Structure 1
């Protein structure tokens, strides 16, 4: 409370006293005891009212104690069970949580990690991947301003994510790795990596690259084999020694039939080898009978062209050739789709030729496009010519029907440079992306598709799409999301299949360690997305003939179902709409591979480095008593007394209002009782 406020309160008291005296003492020679009581009550009332007007503020300070946090980050992946450490982990957790001294000194919180990080005490050791990097990235934000040493209970083997040895520096607290697993180095042969293209073309040879690693001191001989079913398709003798401990094996296999071919690569185990699971790896290739050739026709270089080429060719089924307008006509029969980039009058023979060809056409319009020529020769759409340009952002049309489009955060992408003016179509069309100007939504198309006499076309009213690919990489650390978006447009243009009300998005095969998600869209009779339909998928194991049914869940304007619980096998499926007689069928394979079972030892070196860099200390699972003793004796972790200062205005003090009402009530009652009213 300030001196000024205190002065106001004194003045208020004087004023209340003077007013009361004026009302009850003025022109009176003497005061009765009753009048003295009335005067006192009136002073209380007037002073309380003036206090409310002044509204002084009081500071209320409360003190509380804050214990340091103790974070238990537990590896919940299946590699812990594979290394036979699951029971040791559960015993360790029980010991820590039941220790009264630790609970007195720390607030103990348990997290589990595998595919994702979760705040939970439920530990199953079933997750199929390990991302330790994610533990440090997320918890460094949660405990940014608190004291929170971490017990990292893991074998240190990470299957995806950035190298946690370096990202651990983001966590500004000591880290105590509890090392699980065997630290003794065993003699071991393993297939460390196998690289193969996802697609191959009929009657061609496709390359396979395999890296085999030996961990041991003696010279050994083994044999590398690849089988398709029971048939041996490739074999090679290999030798290793302590110094020559890795082998790069390159070979090719024939693609003789259309469909998914599954292979198993094996390096023959040596005598007394402890882990033989990592001696084999299953891989698959989808053989297709043709490749989609795409021509990008442009009269001048532009970054968009390079970005489009890289995106399209990220799908091995697609090949891109960049041509000048004068060179296209002589090669046009080699292509299934054509991208006309900012056409001008040199494109006239091409546009006339494409009108009679059954090829998909993608026209990209920019600031260098000859609009007069284009709209005179392209009779299906036009744009008002104002000779002005505008920067427009994209907004996804979630009701787009012809094929599945996933929102890759289009609204965060940089604006495209577009010609200013209204767009009109002379044929039915559907818009994928709308133009968004100055953060205002519109129905003006930015990217649209349409079909005319069985031929599909697309048109983009803007240039600078290379920036979208770059932004997508910044956000996702990968080009995959944007490249998939472009390839879906190319796939749409390259096929002439009729539109379906139920569309399914799935892969021909999945690796056993990855999540398996099938997506679907359902449209009403006007081909508008229908979110009222119930979809379910019936999956049949082709080997055991067992069936399972799963419901689809509506998420982000798309139906999705998670089939990660399925075991490796060959499956056929049928997706049914529950309210209408509509269904789609297909098949896929799940390859047998568990990355968590490829490890034989704990990654001791990396975990020790993490402990050293964070000023922590590493322990093995049997050293739990030493761990507890060190934590209790460490003076860095002390309970801190903190204060919280709260400023309370007097107007919030309800008792003062009660005092005013009480004093007025007593005064009124006494005056009434004594006949003064």
Structure 2
């Protein structure tokens, strides 16, 4: 600042000196006119120099920043089922209207079920409860601010990671408002029922049931499993205070193909308040065949285990890892073959596959013997360079053979393979292209093709086990990757004629599952058509009630969400509104509401949550002191922040106007006095 003042003083001296030199010293006259002209010249020169110096100063502005108070309301069905919906609404209304609380905090209201949303209206109709999403979201958004959290809930979780563990990421005080009480009611329920989704015709499938009793006296009940009007299993069970749980394991026969539904029920005991949790419906899809997949390899590699795990995640498939010589002894037992990095020992394997017309999935890499492979098969040829390179991948959004889930392929680790072009003898459909340093190449990394009735897939890279690991890191589950591999296996398992309208759905859904039907529509050139107008008509077989819903375009497929429909058997038809193309199917929704399985709030867990976060828990009927304690809490004080702005001392527009005015005045005076 001192330096700027010195520059201004120096500029004033120079401007004054130049003005006096020109109009006083040189003219040798000191009339009023020369003095006035010297003044205007001084103003002009000094203003120009001020523009060049551009003096600035620091301006401080102080603002008060109030802490944020987050209020999250559990919007799940269990709140309504436990009878606390109205008291929860009243509490939210009270917090919104409290003027002292609004003066102290910036209030932000949210609701949560399976996801977090801004609170607009409380409907208490969410099918799942996942409090963990609150702490995941809030730790990212409010992690660096003062933002205590009031969570209004019964504490019962039905989905996601354990919220008590996830809450440790949120470094803020948490104040649970407990919707419920500590009263323990006498109750008998089916705590858990484990059964495989698929069974095979003429086999038996296992069922495991865990029954739990909460009470003081000894009671007896009967566990009964029915299918339609037939009782397929029954067993008497006894419970006491010391023996409060029973594990029942049994095997049921799969006698007919298709989806078979069952009902497991514990007969109610006297004075039992909640009998909804005594019943669980389940279903099994009985199939009359199982796909046997051979993984043929002459080397040991982590890819083999990753492929086996991914394929067998679908119980309709069985995978065996074999050496080439072992496969030749049992080739008739397999419907598909995965050829992993073929070498000179695969010649007879290719002959056996050709003779049996087995569909193949070939995986190539650094251990592939290309000189031999180019000889004993004619589908593709590799330019041999004996050099290897790592390639990443990018999804081909125009791939139209089957629906490919949009995984983060571009972020997956690179795969290694031979450097050079891979030429095919037949037209191919590319699923993934190669990329190097983010630049997409025209070379395929993963593709499919069909010759007559034989289908094949080729992955030109090894190291796919890293993809499965990365998928788990991204999604906390292997499901996405396993489904991706499963769709390739499903494509190789099917020889159906290609259709312009393809739909993907499950045969049955549990009551709280998302019921999503996915469709792809292709034009006459079998290119994905993102301008299609698809509609689904769903009919309840029992009531014959129908409803029509439009599909929504999501990336490279169309989706419709049928979640929330009543349990029952449904038949549906998907058709294009623009063309006479349609396809039909059937699905079943089982009757089960996980939100109605609870009798009490999870008091202990919510109290632990409050204590761990240095907050405090309250019951819904004891919140009168909550507002006062929040206002008095010194941890949530208003913070004064200073904002430093660098401001120009003089407006440059004003200076330009002043320069123009002084020059004009000087010119007019000189002109009037004949000095020009």
Scaled by the length of structure 1, the TM-score of the pair is 0.97
Separation of aligned partners in 1, 2:674 and 2:516:
88
Shift of 1:285: 0.7
Partner of 1:124: 123
Q: Deviations over 1:638-670 (max 9, x none)?
A: 222111001235687543334334444444555
- Distance in 1 (CA, whole Å) between partners of 2:669 and 2:570 is 93
SS in structure 2 opposite 1:636? Answer: helix
The corresponding residue for 1:93 is: 92
Go from structure 1 to structure 2 and tell me whether the alpha carbon gap of 1:418 and 1:49 turns closer, same or farther (over 3 Å shift).
Answer: same
d(CA) in 1 for partners of 2:42, 2:308:
88
1:359 touches 1:494 (CA, 8 Å); kept in 2?
A: no
SS of structure 2 residue aligned to 1:134? helix
Q: Give, in whole Å, the separation in 2 of the partners of 1:654 and 1:225.
A: 90
Q: In structure 2, do the counterparts of structure 1 residues 180 and 343 end up closer, same or farther at CA, with 3 Å as the change threshold? A: same
Residue 320 of structure 2 aligns with which residue? 321
What is aligned with 2:622? Answer: 623
Per-residue Cα deviation, 1:494-526 (whole angstroms, up to 9, x for no partner): 111111111111111111212211111111122
- The answer to whether the 8 A contact 2:181-2:603 is kept is no
Separation (CA, whole Å) in 2 of partners of 1:137 and 1:665: 67
Aligned to 1:28: 27
CA distance in 1 between counterparts of 2:520 and 2:229 reads 39
Report matched runs for 1:50-89 at 5 Å: 50-89=49-88
Cα distance, 1:91 vs structure 2: 0.8
Decide whether the 8 Å contact of 1:344 with 1:369 is kept in 2: yes
Contact 1:383 1:422 in 2 (8 A): yes
What 5-or-longer segments of structure 2 have no aligned partner?
none
Greater CA drift, 167-176 or 469-478: 167-176
Pair 1:139 & 2:138 matched: yes
Using a 3 Å threshold, how does the CA distance of structure 1 residues 286 and 22 change in structure 2: closer, same or farther? same
| CA distance in 1: counterparts of 2:287 and 2:568, whole angstroms | 22
Q: Secondary structure at the match of 1:485?
A: helix
Instruction: Return 657-666 or 460-469, whichever deviates more.
Output: 657-666
Q: What residue in structure 2 maps to residue 180 of structure 1?
A: 179
Moved more, 6-15 or 299-308: 6-15
Residue 160 (structure 2) aligns with? 161
Aligned ranges for residues 485-500 of structure 1 at < 5 Å?
A: 485-500=484-499
Q: CA deviation at 1:364?
A: 1.2
Quote the Cα distance in structure 2 between the aligned partners of 1:164 and 1:659.
68
Kindly indicate whether the alpha-carbon contact (under 8 Å) linking 2:51 and 2:652 is maintained by their aligned counterparts in 1: no
Alignment correspondent of 2:40:
41
Contact 1:258 1:286 in 2 (8 A): yes
* Alpha-carbon distance between aligned partners in 2 of 1:283 and 1:392, rounded to the nearest angstrom: 45
CA distance in 2, matches of 1:564, 1:652: 63
Q: Deviation at 1:587?
A: 0.9
Aligned-residue RMSD, C-alpha:
1.6
Distance 1:205 1:42, change over 3 A: same
**Residue-by-residue CA offset, 1:581-617 (whole Å, 9 max, x unaligned):** 1111111011111111111101110111111111111
Deviation at 1:565? 3.2
Q: 1:660 to 1:511 in 2, by over 3 A?
A: farther
Q: Distance in 1 between matches of 2:375 and 2:27?
A: 106
The number of aligned residues is 676
Bigger Cα displacement from structure 2, 120-129 vs 418-427: 120-129
> What's 1:632 paired with?
631
Q: Which residue is equivalent to 1:248?
A: 247
Whether 1:226 and 2:194 are equivalent positions in the alignment is no
Post-superposition CA distance 1:6-46 (Å, at most 9, x none): 32222112112122222322333444444434333332222
Q: CA deviation at 1:406?
A: 0.8
The alpha-carbon distance between structure 1 residues 666 and 267, as it changes in their structure 2 partners (threshold 3 A), is: farther
Gap change, CA 1:583 and 1:49, over 3 Å in 2: same
1:624 is displaced (CA, Å) by 2.2
Contact 1:339–1:361 under 8 Å retained in 2: yes
Partner residue in 1 for 2:566 = 567
Q: C-alpha separation between the residues in 2 aligned to 1:538 and 1:224? A: 39
- Residue pair 1:226, 1:234 contacting (<8 A) in 2 also: yes
Q: 1:346 to 1:663 in 2, by over 3 A?
A: same
Question: Structure 1 residues 53 and 484, CA, compared in 2 at 3 Å: closer, same or farther?
Answer: same
- Residue 616 of structure 2 aligns to a residue whose secondary structure is coil
Comparing 35-44 and 287-296, the one that deviates more = 35-44
Q: Secondary structure at the match of 1:596?
A: helix
Q: Pairwise mapping of residues 523-672 of structure 1 onto structure 2 (< 5 A)?
A: 523-649=522-648, 653-668=652-667
Cα deviation 1:260-299 (Å, max 9, x = unaligned):
1111111111111111111111111111110000011111
- Give SS of 1:329's match: helix
Partners in 1 of 2:664 and 2:257 — Cα distance? 97
Q: 1:356 is paired with a residue of what secondary structure? A: helix
Q: Distance in 2 between matches of 1:111 and 1:344?
A: 60
SS at 2:625's partner residue? helix
Which residue does 1:302 correspond to in 2?
Answer: 301
Partner of residue 236, structure 1: 235
Q: Distance in 2 between matches of 1:183 and 1:424?
A: 71
Offset at residue 352 of structure 1 (A): 1.4
Asked if the contact 1:52–1:650 (Cα under 8 Å) also holds between the matched residues in 2, the reply is: no
Q: Which runs of 5+ in 1 are unaligned?
A: none
Question: Are 1:288 and 2:287 matched, yes or no?
Answer: yes
What SS is found at the alignment partner of 2:194? strand
Contact in 1 for aligned 2:181/2:619 (Cα 8 Å): no
SS of residue in 2 equivalent to 1:20 = helix
Given that residues 337 and 359 in structure 2 are in contact (C-alpha distance below 8 angstroms), is that contact kept between their aligned partners in structure 1? Answer: yes
Alpha-carbon distance in structure 1 between the residues aligned to 2:423 and 2:614: 66
Matched, 1:272 2:275: no
Matches within 5 A, 1:358-507: 358-507=357-506
Change beyond 3 A, Cα 1:563–1:654: farther
Task: Work out the CA distance in 1 between the residues paired with 2:327 and 2:375.
Answer: 21
3-state SS of paired residue (1:441): strand
Q: TM-score, normalised by structure 2?
A: 0.97
Which residue is equivalent to 2:148? 149
Match of 1:105 in 2: 104
Report if aligned partners of 1:73, 1:110 keep a CA contact under 8 Å in 2.
yes
Are the counterparts in 2 of residues 182 and 600 from structure 1 also a CA contact under 8 Å?
no
| Per-residue deviation, residues 284-326 of structure 1 (Å, max 9, x unmatched) | 1111110000011111211111111111111000001111111
Going from structure 1 to structure 2, the CA distance change for 1:51 and 1:312 (only over 3 Å counts) comes to same
Q: 1:23 to 1:567 in 2, by over 3 A?
A: farther
Q: Are the structure 2 counterparts of residues 33 and 87 from structure 1 closer, same or farther at C-alpha, using a change threshold of 3 Å?
A: farther
Q: Equivalent residue of 1:498, what SS?
A: coil
Alpha-carbon distance in 1 for matches of 2:248, 2:652: 82
Measured in 2, the distance between the counterparts of 1:502 and 1:458 equals 22
Secondary structure, in 3 states, of the residue corresponding to 1:625? coil
Distance 2:565 2:225 in 1: 25
